[in-house]
Structure 1
Amino acid sequence: MLMLLSPLAGAASAAGEAAAGKPVVTLSTAQAGAGGSITVSGSGWRPRTLLMLLICGQATPARGVVGGTNSCANGDGRAVTTDADGRFSRALPVSEPPAPCPCVVHVATATGAQAQADAVFQVAGHPVEPLPAEPAGGRLAVLTDTRLDGSSGLLTWFGAPPARTLVLTVGNLGAGSVKDPVFQIGTAHGVFAPQWDEQQWRGTIAPGKKARIELPVELAAGAHGDYTVSLKYGGKVLAEQPWGVGRPWGVTLFWLLLCLVAPSAVFRIGMAVVDRIRPHQAARTARTARTARTSRPAAGHREPRWTARWRSRMPWRGPPPEPDPVPESPSAAASAPTPSTTLPWFAPDAGPAAPGRLSAPHEDHPTSPTTPGRTGRTSRTSRKGMT
């Protein structure tokens, strides 16, 4: 009679958990011997989630696996992924766990937020022992889903440590009060094991009462990626919460600006040093002029064409020398007009007297006319003296 009532009780319990929105596990049979196989089915799980199926000893659905996974047949466990509706079905070989029964088929999530469910199972021929007594103190359990409150600020964008507050409601299911419980907060990056940190909550939770727990969670500076925050009390993980941390793009922007500014500063410093070391512009101009004078060919010497071309392609040699003036022919010089110049003892509007005309009187004989001569003007008195 008891063997018949046990599957009915398990089915009723599974129906109640399904109605409450919790994951459900059902077995094809409640008892089997080692070496056999059973079919494990489930519903109400998250879609596309990886689950682990294990047969564990020293466990009940009410208290869970007392000894942890060390009480399970880990070598014969199986993995399964739920479908889009959160359902699964998987064959599980029956093997004897390292701990005595009572036994369960333990199903738990392998990644993401923690979820688990147990179904009562009896391994035929395996020893059965009573469970160890519960500790005298209270026993805490999570009553509501956990969440992370808070947001990232501007400093987090530049690499400051991300911080959140883990908020959950726990209830005391034990017979004694729990005073100032010490929780363990674990943060795991990706598939790595969590790093645990102890935090004490100040307060007292009476038996049958509940309390709101708020615990700070902080990551290392510059942390980014997918993290998982776990809460452990009394050696048992009570809750897990995923946390996606954005990349600190401010740090990347800082390094990009540094890569642009540093070479520019080095270039400006180098140019300043070059300006101090190189000669002044005046000295360079004088040296260029001297080079041009020394490189100019002598008068009457025509520079070869290849030398002129070579000098024109060397800008540091200074400006090309000016070409020498070409001598003009006698006919061209005779035909060229001669500019008229005014002697200083003539007025600007008076020119020299024409040949054959009398010149102006001398100062010693103002009234005596003069006659032009070949060598100059000769007065009448001077001609008398010559005769």
Structure 2
Amino acid sequence: MRGKPRIPALVPALLPVLLLLLLLLLLPLSLSLPSAGTAAAADGKPAVTLSSSQAGTGGSITVSGTGWRSRTLLMLLVCGQATPARGVVGGTNSCANADGRAVTTDADGRFSRALPVTDPPVPCPCVVHVATATGAKAQADAVFQVAGHPVEPLPAQTAGGRLTVLTDTRLDGSGSLLTWFGAPPSRTLAFTVGNVGTAAVENPVFQVGTAHGVFAPQWDERQWHGTLGPGEKARVELPVELTAGAHGDYTVSLKYGGKVLAEQPWGVGRPWGVTLFWILLCVVVPAAVFRIGMAVVDRVRPRHAARRPPPAPGHGRRRRTAIAPPRPAPPTPNATLPWFTPDTGPGPAGRLSAPHEDHPTSPTTPTTPGRKGSM
């Protein structure tokens, strides 16, 4: 009778060692297979999710996002003529900008914000467009359907040449004295563009947009005259001008073929000359009006006669000032008195003259004795 095969005594002792080696071999494999959430965080690409993929005008949806930079201001918009693959074809002009919402991400780059549903200005297909308002550019789109809004196919993409901005984008120029007094600030947007397509691009038309703060940019078309063949590059300079009196933080954007190629910040100083002008105006005009008013008052004021000097103290009010008689002129030394003849004069012979009227007691002139008896 054969006995049962006997297991060597060494095998049970080696089982724990074999299990430990197997665990050590499987541990690196498990570490190399991260979960989906870990992979999304490792990629660092911003993502957007919606609480509902369809809603009607007047309703609202909740927009959530992950993978964004921390403490970053974002803008949430409902846009038409857009897909996640092609983006917003018409730029923010195809979005319901008036009903957009702003949100700031937390320390982990996450956010959640309610967004009202509004008809975009262009037909669908529509997306919820999320983009950074400040700092480095980043954006993400989520497919969304506005119930009852018309749907039209996207415009066909143009084949052939395709332009892209290579490097060295900057704003050239500086302000002037007129800008200090409120003239429109102007700069030149200079950049290097290259043709990465398969066909030549002739006289391309760029769109230059200026945005103040978090507001949507205002686009203006600028045409560059020239031809770029496949693989060629060129230096392009386009003028940029703001409105009169503009100041603050602006962002200059460059767009071609419905795609934003570059953005450049622009800090515009306050026109202090305008403030100085208003201060001087508030000082000079009142002073001039005061001078003119005083001149008018002085001209229309009645003219009064010169008043007599007040009487001396101690005299009555009814006492009149006596008018002194005119003083006679002194007699001339050589003049002849009227009661003397030229042959006579005061002296010894004067006693024989007739008596003076002003001396009635003077004696009469004696006569000759002989002539008295004959008379």
Where on the TM-score scale, by shorter chain, does this alignment land: which range? Answer: 0.5 to 0.7
Map of 2:67 onto structure 1: 42
- Paired AA for residue 292 in structure 2: I
- Output the amino acid matched with 2:74: L
Question: What is the 5 A alignment of 1:187-206?
Answer: 187-190=210-213, 192-206=215-229
- Give the conservation status (yes or no) of the 8 Å contact 1:113–1:242: no
Question: Which of the numbers 108, 124, 137 marks the counterpart of 1:115?
Answer: 137
1 CA distance for matches of 2:298 and 2:96?
81
Gaps of 5+ in 1: 1-6, 19-23, 122-129, 300-320, 322-362, 365-387
> Quick check: 1:170–1:212 contact (8 Å CA) kept in 2?
yes
Counterpart code for 1:297: R
Q: How does 1:169-208 map to 2 (within 5 A)?
A: 169-190=192-213, 192-208=215-231
Deviations 1:325-365 (A, max 9, x none): xxxxxxxxxxxxxxxxxxxxxxxxxxxxxxxxxxxxxx98x
Conserved 8 A contact 2:83-2:127: yes
Q: Which residue of 1 aligns with 2:163?
A: 140
Instruction: Tell me, in whole angstroms, the C-alpha distance in 1 between the residues paired with 2:161 and 2:42.
Output: 29
Matched ranges for 1:134-173 at <5 A: 134-144=157-167, 146-173=169-196
1:88 is aligned to 2:110: yes
Match of 1:288 among 282, 307, 319: 307
Question: What amino acid is the match of 1:48?
Answer: T
Q: Distance in 1 between matches of 2:114 and 2:291?
A: 73
Quick one: distance in 1 between partners of 2:174 and 2:166? 25
Aligned length: 269
Kept after mapping to 2: 8 A contact 1:112/1:228: no
Structure 1 residue 258 corresponds to structure 2 residue 281: yes
Aligned partners of 1:182 and 1:57: how far apart in 2?
21
Separation (CA, whole Å) in 2 of partners of 1:38 and 1:228: 26
Q: TM-score, normalised by structure 2?
A: 0.52
Residues 190 and 226 of structure 1 are in contact (CA less than 8 Å); yes or no, is this contact kept in structure 2?
Answer: yes
CA displacement at 1:178 relative to structure 2: 1.5
Q: In the alignment, what sits opposite 2:262? A: 239
5+ residue gaps in structure 2? 1-33, 56-61, 116-122, 144-152, 322-346, 349-375
Q: CA RMSD in A?
A: 5.3
Indicate the SS of the match to 1:164.
strand
1:173 maps to a residue whose letter is: V
SS across alignment from 2:307:
helix
The 3-state SS of whatever aligns with 2:245 is coil
Partner of 1:378: none
Q: 1:69 to 1:156 in 2, by over 3 A?
A: closer
1:126-137 to structure 2, matched below 5 A, reads 134-137=157-160
On the 8 A contact 2:183/2:244 being kept in 1, the answer is: yes
Taking the TM superposition and a 5 Å limit, the aligned residue runs for 1:352-363 are none
CA separation in 1, counterparts of 2:90 and 2:246? 34
| Mapping for residues 65-104 of structure 1, pairs under 5 Å | 65=88, 80-83=103-106, 87-88=109-110
Amino acid at match of 1:149: D
Q: Deviations over 1:249-277 (max 9, x none)?
A: 21121122122112222333333444445
1:222 has 2:245 as partner: yes
Q: 1:201 to 1:279 in 2, by over 3 A?
A: same
Q: Which residue of 1 aligns with 2:317?
A: 297
Write out per-residue CA displacement over residues 270-329 of structure 1, whole angstroms, 9 at most, x where no aligned residue: 33444445567xx65xx3216769x95135xxxxxxxxxxxxxxxxxxxxx9xxxxxxxx
Structure 1 residues 346-385: aligned runs within 5 Å = none
Aligned to 1:383: none
